[in-house]
Structure formats: structure tokens, C-alpha cells
Amino acid sequence: MLYTCDLVCWGAASPAAFQSFLSMLERRSGRRVTTYAHRGAGMRSHGSEIATYADGSRESGTTSTLAWRRIWYDRLCRESCYRCGHHSTEHPGDIIIGDWWGLRRFMPELDDPWGVSCAVASTSRGLALLRDSSGALELAATPIADVANPAQPMLEHPPERKGRDAFWPELYAHGFEAACRSVGALGPERAAKDLVKKVAAAFRGHPAKDPDGSSVNSAWEGAPKVDFDELEARGEYPVAFAARNRDDGVRRRSSSGGVYHALASHVIEDLGGVVYGCAFDGDLRAVHIRCETVAEAERCMGSKYSQSDMGDSIRRVREDLDSGRTVLFTGTPCQVAAVRAACANLEGGYPHDR
């Protein structure tokens, strides 16, 4: 059986641009970067971006480390992302996961420093997978209209192109650092603004609330319990959920609520299946890997905001399905569309009627 899980996707940045960003960090710090992570918009309270270096030291909140998150949304997506036909709830995977952008309309008191996911079950297959993984999750159901709103635009349309035309010629001619300077994402003015923000934050104290505190949990306590039997009987898709992993440690390593971890663990541990997802290789290149263990699947936690190399994943997914394995494929909507199309004729693949 093939399960697919795609991300609400703004678009994936050019891998070459990401590598030039990492080179800039290495040049500026004089150390090799071993990891770089940043969390989705809306989850800013606990270290929105962190670069880790080979000597174990970490850098966060500096003008350099912030440069990537400042620009990737508006300037770095691959050209095809701006024309993407898969960015819509019309062409989904079984489950779509994203940040909580749209959820505050439905849960206005939602505020959580470790992150909450928006999960959308688009098919009965997706709802069943979510149900079976739900032991690890806190969930609150809501109509899709509550989340597919202007606060969560990526469920409905591809990213808007902003300012890219000024950035890219500079990137090609003079490299990442110069291109960032040309759009004000680096340089003395930017550094001064960052300093002012840091000082202001220090006076305010730490902005994040205690993840175990009552202000965080009250939103969940007030939410109606999810009745999966009723949702399945109704058979109306998509169904949207606010979702978070019960394990704060998982959420700290995830980009939003840690739904991916719950799905992947269930498929591997309870169904004996395999999971495909995106991990960094030793050179911090985003690549799709095949995971037989939860430890391997954990390498895929956290969003890598650069286009991943699928390698021979599609061939291997087909082989796994052919040999009767359960497969969970996770990736961007365009990658999920490719896998579904490639597996349509296989047992456990997708019927052609949807």
C-alpha cells in the first residue's frame, strides 16, 4: 500500500543558492557548517534559525544566519515553483502537512513555541493513516475552509514572485553575499536593525512561553475531541486538523508540530513499512532517502528549504510496492504527484479515479 504525504509548499529554493549561502557562513565564521535549520514562519519564538559548526558551536539570530530565511521566500524558489500546478488542495497527497498559519482563525488562542502543524486528510487512506498514528498526536478537527484562507495561501496557489529580478543577476555575477547586500538582507544597515531588535528583545525578556504552560495547553483542552468514526462515516474530504506531537522533544526537532514523525514511526514500527523523505547528506545537500528504521526516518525531520534530489527514489518505491511493502512517501507536492503517477498501475498504488 502506498501512502503519500506532501507539504503545504511555498516552493523549494535552488540548491546552488543554498550551497552559496553555506559557503558564505563558512567564509565569515572560518568554520565548516555541519547543519543549518530554520523553522517555518509563525514558529519564531525558539531560535528561528540555527547554524551548527564542526567544532560544535552554534550561531543563531545573526545577520548572516538570518540572511537565508529573509530571502528564500520571495527570491529563491526555482522558476518552476512560481508556475506550480500542484500547489493546490485539488492535487493532494493522502495527507498534507503545513505550519499553523491558517489555524488561528479556528483556534484563536493557539500559541505554542515548539510549533503546531496543520494536517489535512485528503483521502480515506489519509484519514485512516492519521487515525492509526493519532496515539502520538493531539488533534482538533476543523473544516478545510478554516485553514485554506488568506493566512495560509499556499494551500491554494503557488508563491508570488517578489524582487527576484533584482536578486538573481547579482547572484550570478557576484555571488550570494553581494546579492543579499543588493537587496538589503546583509550589510551595515541590516546589522544595525538586527542589533536594535536584539536589544529590544533582551529588555522584553524571552518572548517564548513555557511549552508546558497553561497558556499553551488551554487551546487544546478547549478543542472538541476528534471522532474518527464519524469522520470516516461521513466520507467527506478534505478534513483539516490542528495537530501536534505529544512529545515536545520531537516538536523541537520538527519544523512545525511533528506530524511527520508520528506518521513515519507508525508506518515503520506498526506496519513494517518503509518511509521515503528528505534528509541532508554529508555535504548539506537535500536528498531523498529510503528509511527502514525510525532512526533513519528521523534524519528527514525538519524542513530543508532547498529542492531535494530524488535520485532513484521512484524506482525504489515501485520495487517496494511490488514486493508488498507498505510505503510512506513524503515530499513536496510536485514530488508526490510524480510518485503517484509512477505507481498508478501498481497494486497498492492509486486508482485512476482521483
Ligand X SMILES: Cc1cc2nc3c(=O)[nH]c(=O)nc-3n(C[C@H](O)[C@H](O)[C@H](O)COP(=O)(O)OP(=O)(O)OC[C@H]3O[C@@H](n4cnc5c(N)ncnc54)[C@H](O)[C@@H]3O)c2cc1C
Judged by CB under 6 A, the residue of 303, 314, 321, 325 near ligand X is 303
According to CB under 6 A, which residues from 156 to 185 bind ligand X?
Answer: none
Copy the grid coordinates of residue 258: 511533528
Residues 65-104 that bind ligand X (CB under 6 A): 97-99, 101
Among 158, 273, 302, 333, binds ligand X (CB under 6 A): 302
Strands 327-331 and 274-280, sheet pairing? parallel
Interface with ligand X, residue 15, by CB under 6 A: no
In a 13 Å sphere around the CA of 267, the CA atoms on its Cβ side amount to 34
Give me the least distance between CB of 239 and ligand X, in Å please. Answer: 17
**Near ligand X in 242-261, by CB under 6 A:** 254-261
CB closer to ligand X out of 112 and 190? 112
Q: Which is nearer to ligand X, 1 or 178 (CB)?
A: 1
Q: How far is the CB of 119 from ligand X (least distance, A)?
A: 8
Where in 27-66 is the site for ligand X (CB under 6 A)?
Answer: 40
User: In this complex, which beta carbon is closest to ligand X, that of residue 258 or of residue 349?
Assistant: 258
User: Binding to ligand X by residue 331, rule CB under 6 A?
Assistant: yes
Residue 298 CB, shortest distance to ligand X, in Å, is 9
Q: Which residues bind ligand X (CB under 6 A)?
A: 7-10, 12, 40, 97-99, 101, 117, 154, 254-261, 277-278, 286, 300-306, 308, 330-332
